Amino acid sequence: MLGALRQLFIPKPPAGVEATYIALLAAARNPFFYEDLGVPDTLDGRFELIVLHLFLLQHRLVEPRADTTTTAFAQFLSEAFFNDMDNSLRELGVADTGVSKRIKKMGAAYHGRLQAYSAGLADATVLRAALARNLYGTVAQGDVALLDRLGRYVETMAARLAQSEVDVILRGAYVWPDAATLGL
């Protein structure tokens, strides 16, 4: 009964949210990041790349000119992310109480990264510091050249997304370029 009530009062996400999130996951799982850019292929490394790609979309959708449709879509995209993280934790065998605590930590990490990456788009040094801390934080010795390439990827994708039609994203039709082909 609770499920039926929820369906009456909680709006369903637009059709494009699922397709957009799936495409975002595919972009974040590109072997290029792990093999060529040295991002650790771990749960943490994968989480960080998903958050980075989610940031790029959020940055495009929630801008000063954003309307209620794009803002709502961005919110549904965030909810898709947290539902995915919740499901992933449960598949890994984390108990209900542990899931709640971990999701809360992920939420804080997510919001912190959104702020750090947003500030980084205005300052390359700040961006690279945020990327080093978040994506390479578990690497004993990093390679500045790889960090710089990842920074260029973020800047390139932010610029490409800024030139993209919002309607394409809202329809779930945005196609992420293969990172390996961007000449980084």
CA 149 to chain centre: 18
pLDDT at 103: 67
Query: What radius of gyration, in Å, describes the C-alpha atoms of the chain?
Result: 17
Name the average pLDDT for the chain. 86
- Give the tokens for residue 55: 């940031």
Q: How would residue 61 be classed by pLDDT, with cut points 50, 70 and 90?
A: very high
The 3-state DSSP class for residue 113 equals: helix
Instruction: Tell me which of 5 and 96 has the higher pLDDT.
Output: 96
| Helix ranges (DSSP H) in 10-143 | 15-28, 31-35, 43-61, 68-91, 96-120, 124-135
**Which pTM does this prediction carry?**
0.87
Task: Give the number of residues written for the chain.
Answer: 184
pLDDT at 107: 76
Taking CA atoms, 127 is separated from 8, 18, 134, 166, 174, in Å, by 42, 28, 11, 24, 24
Q: At 73, which amino acid appears? A: F
> What percent of the chain shows pLDDT beyond 90?
57
For 7-25, how does the pLDDT look when each residue is reduced to its tens digit (9 = 90+)? 566 677 778 999 999 999 9
Assess contact for 165 and 67: CB atoms under 8 A: no
Assess contact for 58 and 36: CB atoms under 8 A: no
pLDDT at 151 over 80: yes
